[in-house]
With several copies, the nearest count.
Chain A
Amino acid sequence: MELKNKKWTHDEFNAIRQEVLAQWPTGKDVDFEEAVKYHENIPAKRHFAKRLVKAKKNGDTLTQPRAGVALIDEHINLLNFLKTEGEADLLPTTIDSYTRQNQYKEAQNGIEESLKAGRSLLNGFPAVNHGVTGVRRVVESVDAPLQVRHGTPDARLLGEITIAAGYTSYEGGGISYNIPYAKSVSLERTILDWQYCDRMVGLYAEHGIEINREPFGPLTGTLVPPSVSHAVAVIEGILAAEQGVKNITLGYGQCGNLIQDIAAIRALEQLADEYMTKHGYSDCVLTSVFHQWMGGFPQDEAKAFGVISWGAAAAALAKATKVIVKTPHEALGIPTKEANAQGLRTTKQMINMLKDQAFPLTSELQAEIDIIKAETRCILNKVFELGSGDYAVGAVRAFEAGVLDVPFAPSKFSLNKILPARDNNGAVRLFDVGNLPFTPDLIAFHRDKMAQRGQAEGRQPSFQMVIDDIYAISKGYLVGRPR
């Protein structure tokens, strides 16, 4: 199938569907017609898209953790604990890493070893192995909107099974689940595979079932400048909408400077509205998600609570529709459910204390919004041009050319030429813009910002500055200055 940003026909989709459902024995239990009926009976309070729309209307910021374990009953207990003890508004099912690489045999082995060990030896829930029936046990035992969160380049079978089982939201995208999550899978391949997922969601929409879709905003989660992740988010939003998705949440990972973070969420919402409308997808409902700090955390729990709180504050002041919450165990690996609930409660307290406080649109905030929008437009317009009017084709060519480039990405299809670092106020800038198609003004802006910091620290921007910035928050600072 040739890659282009065009809605698949039913025939195109169905031809591939048979292959997909045959990838693992549990695939045969997916029955689309039955699944539509099943969804028709899911009440509004468990409906992800409806919950998001209500929150956006009320100006609320909803909380959502990450969580997943190998076995069904344990997973149900975990989610219910996070709902009651963590007061979570939205619940996830984080998928294990074997499933993300379509290694279902290894996942099966992980299930069996977990049964033997009496604790989860998988870092998530192997939904494909558990199949529609198993996943439905989760759906029917947890009274909250449920989303699949993963990092799966080819998430077609996972999507078929979990959506058929009653999940109402699905994370991922052809770029955002490739570049940070794969090493040598081509972008053509993943974009096509995610067109499949989006088309599947579009098919549910044609039958009156609204499933929320969420491209993964933070990408590598490591000093990603807002314009870089925004460009990817808008492209993935457009690709999803073209396949018929009607409810999309676009995301951004906290950088740490408050003004930049608030500006980023506002710019993302404005850009998404602008581009979706321009390309004819104005019937798509958009919401936003803010990810608390995705980089290294302090090992000390008290300090980790500080980092979590700052992310909660930024999310609330930016009025993001939801916030993905970290835990005080972040630096130490996968958290206990108690630590997960603590992170959620800290976040909830902060959000509730801040919900009545509007952050004023200051000239500094507006300037930052303008910069982010100008940069993102440079990238998006160049992608569109490279693709001769097609964002799917353009995205592939843009990554080849470094017009799209994600710092610290494992994928060999990301050029890895840009180098980000913080400016003197802690905002994430670029000391090497690589091949990003910025105007001379924007390039000068970044150069000046980096020079300003270099001067303050008496050193030239270098890779060491980047390393210092990467470790800074885990060592208790935002900016990695020489000490």
Chain B
Amino acid sequence: MTNKVKVVLGVIGADCHAVGNKILNHAITAAGYEVINLGVLVPQEEFVNAAIETDAKAILVASLYGHGEIDCRGLRDRCREAGIEDIRLYVGGNLVVGKTDFKKVEQKFLDMGYDRVYEPGTLPDKVIADMNEDLK
């Protein structure tokens, strides 16, 4: 049995962008975490179930296709209902349709209950640095 910190990784909703998911999986694993990678096209429910089953410390949600606003809403409530209200929620990607001021997008997702919000083009190193601060 491993004593690595576990995190759940996946691309939410009807989104099938797989490249960043595979790279994040590789980079976060290399950084010493155990990654439960759900891949693409993941419903909210599956994120929560996987987190409960594996006792994960964080859920890393990606949304690349612009529907993030609709897809990501309510995930914090669902965690609360499932009894994992303290889990860290990270979200990143192209979260809205159209070029928007990132500060506004960030605030919107913070208000939805996410702990960290990443803008387009964020490299894995940045996410890992935050994980090291938050989860270790």
Contacts and interface: CB of A to CB of B under 8 A. Distances in A.
A151 B18 contact: no
B70 A113 contact: yes
B44 interface: no
Contact of A98 (B67, B69, B99): B67
Contact of B67 (A123, A331, A470): A123
Contacts of A454: none
B99 A329 contact: yes
B26 A151 contact: no
A333 B23 contact: no
Contacts of B98: 119-120, 333-336
Contacts of B95: 333
Interface stretch (A161-169, A180-188, A342-350): A180-188
A183 B39 contact: yes
Given A123-B66, A183-B16, A410-B18, A332 B94 contact: yes
B121 A299 contact: yes
A467 interface: yes
B15 interface: yes
Interface string B31-42: 000000001110
A222 B70 contact: no
A215 interface: no
Contact of A331 (B13, B23, B65, B120): B120
A97 interface: yes
Given A101-B14, A463-B26, A335 B99 contact: yes
Interface in B86-108: 94-99
B22 interface: yes
B16 A151 contact: yes
A123 B97 contact: yes
- Tell me if B's interface is mostly helix, strand, loop or mixed: loop
B123 interface: yes
Contacts of A336: 98-99
B70 A220 contact: no
B19 interface: yes
A86 B39 CA distance: 37
Nearest to B70: A121
A211 B120 CA distance: 38
A384 interface: no
Contacts of A113: 70
Interface stretch (A103-111, A235-243, A244-252, A253-261): A103-111
A409 interface: yes
A153 to B, nearest CB: 10
A339 B99 CA distance: 10
A117 to B, nearest CB: 9
Q: Which of B17, B18, B26, B69 has its CB near the most chain A CB atoms (within 10 A)?
A: B18
Contact of A333 (B15, B99, B123): B99
Interface of A: 96-98, 100-101, 103, 106, 109-110, 113, 119-123, 151, 180-183, 220, 222, 295-296, 299, 329, 331-336, 339, 408-410, 463, 467, 470-471, 474
Given A100-B14, A122-B97, A333-B120, 17 more contacts: A97-B14, A106-B14, A110-B70, A121-B69, A122-B67, A123-B66, A123-B67, A151-B16, A180-B18, A182-B16, A332-B120, A332-B121, A336-B99, A408-B19, A410-B18, A410-B21, A463-B26
22 contacts: A98-B67, A100-B14, A110-B67, A119-B97, A122-B66, A123-B65, A123-B67, A295-B19, A299-B120, A299-B121, A332-B99, A332-B120, A332-B121, A333-B98, A333-B99, A333-B120, A334-B66, A339-B99, A408-B18, A409-B18, A410-B39, A471-B123
